[in-house]
Amino acid sequence: QRHQRNHMTTSAVAMPPPEGLEYASKCFFPTEWHGVPLTNVKQYNHDSKIFSFGLPEGRSLDLPVCACLLLQGKDKEGNDAVRPYTPMSSNDVVGRFDLLVKVYEQGVISQYLNNLAIGSLVPFKHIPFNIKAEYPFGKKTLTMISGGTGITPMFQALQCLCLTPGDETKITLLYGNKSVDDILLRAELDDLASKSNGRLNVVHVVGTRPDEPPIEGWDGELGWVDAAKIEKYGYPPSDDTLVMVCGLPAMYDVFCGPRTEPELKEGTVLHKLGYTTTMVAKF
């Protein structure tokens, strides 16, 4: 049931932030909360939607690659709740930006967004902590390890890597999902691979358990992204390589240690494979 919560204000027009605020980058949003209107909602697949937000006419979001925004919503009790999101739209898009969101039954922010009326103002901000490894990454090879909606910062980076004239970076994307239907941005990733002159290899890994049985009609990898698949498809440890990780907290625990800690944790998969802290970027 869609409804208008009484704490919200609405506006069809996006206004620029007031003057005199601090900025972490050239991004449209300052380091303080600034509301922009929800302008469109589009069903993407069985459990995901694209939420579009307005920007002033002709204005790009200008978010560094890679970086995310913080979104402030409300939980069921009306308390503030904050989550990071990386837009799926590139900085070439003006007048709006798009978030691809899995709508979970128990998801605080995804349910908040799902119940918003068009025109509702949603607060965003952009802070220095949310600027990660930046394009160009200064490495010859990249291995991206991603799960579910963790694909969005990788997609953000891949648009620059694959479409920037003269870029020669070689990239492998290992992208894990529970099912074939759960794969996000599949057509868009295929399109980038086709435009990369062979530099991007997209490896989809599908399964709900490590020993996933064969799936009819699926000829990609089965099970989970693991050490064996990283060794098979990824680029080996070197000063000229970077491994980028993004997914749910459990994924960081397994591969590299918590995203809030810059160090590569001892005993994790990437550590055991010989990678070092300077070779790993957590998103």
pLDDT score of 204:
98
Rg (alpha carbons) of the chain, rounded to whole number: 19
Show Cβ contacts of residue 19 under 8 Å, excluding neighbours closer than 6 positions: none
Residue 238 CA from chain centroid, whole number: 25
For the chain, 283 residues long, give each residue's pLDDT as a single digit of tens. 433 333 456 777 899 999 999 999 999 999 999 999 999 999 999 999 999 999 999 999 999 999 999 999 999 999 999 999 999 999 999 999 999 999 999 999 999 999 999 999 999 999 999 999 999 999 999 999 999 999 999 999 999 999 999 999 999 999 999 999 999 999 999 999 999 999 999 999 999 999 999 999 999 999 999 999 999 999 999 999 999 999 999 999 999 999 999 999 999 999 999 999 999 999 9
Q: What is the rounded CA–CA span in Å between residue 25 and residue 4? A: 33
**Residue 182, both tokens:** 């759960």
Residues comprising the chain, all counted: 283
The alpha carbon torsion through 208, 214, 218, 222 (nearest 10 deg) reads 50
**Residue 236, both tokens:** 């080996």
198-202 contacts, C-beta under 8 A, 24 or more apart? 199/161, 199/162, 199/167, 199/168, 199/169, 199/170, 199/171, 200/158, 200/161, 200/162, 200/171, 200/172, 200/173, 201/171, 201/172, 201/173, 201/233, 202/173, 202/175
- Encoded amino acid at 46, one letter: H
Q: What is the rounded CA–CA span in Å between residue 181 and residue 45? A: 8
Beta bridge partners of 147: 176
pLDDT score of 4:
38
Exposure letters 244-282 (e unless 16+ CB within 10 A, then b): bbbbeeebbebbbbebeeeebbeebbbbeeebeeebbbb
- Encoded amino acid at 111, one letter: Q
Q: Model-level pTM?
A: 0.94
pLDDT score of 6:
37
Sheet holding 280-282, edge to edge: 221-222, 200-206, 170-177, 141-147, 241-246, 280-282
Q: Smallest Cα–Cα separation from 23: which of 53, 60, 64?
A: 64
Q: Which is it for strands 48-54 and 34-43: parallel, antiparallel or unpaired?
A: antiparallel
DSSP string, 267-282: TSHHHHTT--GGGEEE
Q: What is the rounded CA–CA span in Å between residue 185 and residue 176? A: 13
Q: What is the rounded CA–CA span in Å between residue 184 and residue 5? A: 30
pLDDT score of 10:
75
